[in-house]
Structure 1
Amino acid sequence: MSKTLYAPEYRRLIEWLKSSRIEQGLTMRELAKRLEVPHSYVGKIEQCERKLDVLEFVKYCNKLGLAPNMGLLMLSE
């Protein structure tokens, strides 16, 4: 089984998060401040250098005002 970090589905999920951030006009630094993490954390997530676990994904979605289930539904399509 290959690492999920490199799976096309994971990359699609991260692209959804990144696009949502950009559409809202948020910088990586602004999102990082909401998440209470260094801005490099957001950069590593968006570059697929670091994987989000489920709890981090939910928090990330909440800080962007997204419903986590929408991201998961997107993966099942």
Structure 2
Amino acid sequence: MPSFFTNDYQTLIGHLVEARKKSGITQMQLAQAMRIEQTLVSRIERCERRIDAVEFLHICALLGVSTDEIYGHLKPRFAVLQPATK
């Protein structure tokens, strides 16, 4: 099933998957810690299910990765709004 999520979202999830694997945590272990089914973790990692902000924070905490670190991978992709001048 192809993803309908943006490249930015797929990049975010890719970094979370990388952090999970780097930490040696399985999808099953992450699912148990989050109190969800392993199939949901799989769907998240395949970008078939979108996570919300609270889930993002929870996943980062469980993986021992800072939200700033994940954001750092994405920040260059985002345009910065300039404040209005008077």
Q: Is TM more than 0.5 here?
A: yes
Matched positions, count: 73
Counterpart Cα distance in 2 of 1:26 and 1:43? 13
* Deviation by residue 1:16-46 (Cα, 9 ceiling, x = unmatched): 0001111111111011111111111110100
Structure 1 partner of 2:84:
none
Relative to total residues, which structure has the larger helix share, 1 or 2? 1
- Flag as ranges the 4+ runs of structure 1 deviating above 2 A: none
Structure 2 partner of 1:39:
38
Identity %: 30
Determine which structure has more spread, i.e. the larger CA radius of gyration.
Answer: 2
Q: Secondary structure at the match of 1:6?
A: coil
What TM-score do the two structures reach when normalised by structure 1? 0.86
Structure 2 partner of 1:62:
61
What TM-score do the two structures reach when normalised by structure 2? 0.78
Instruction: Calculate the aligned-residue CA RMSD, in Å.
Output: 1.2
The yes-or-no answer on 1:25 pairing with 2:24 is: yes
Counterpart Cα distance in 2 of 1:39 and 1:33? 8
Structure 1 partner of 2:13:
14
Q: Which runs of 5+ in 1 are unaligned?
A: none
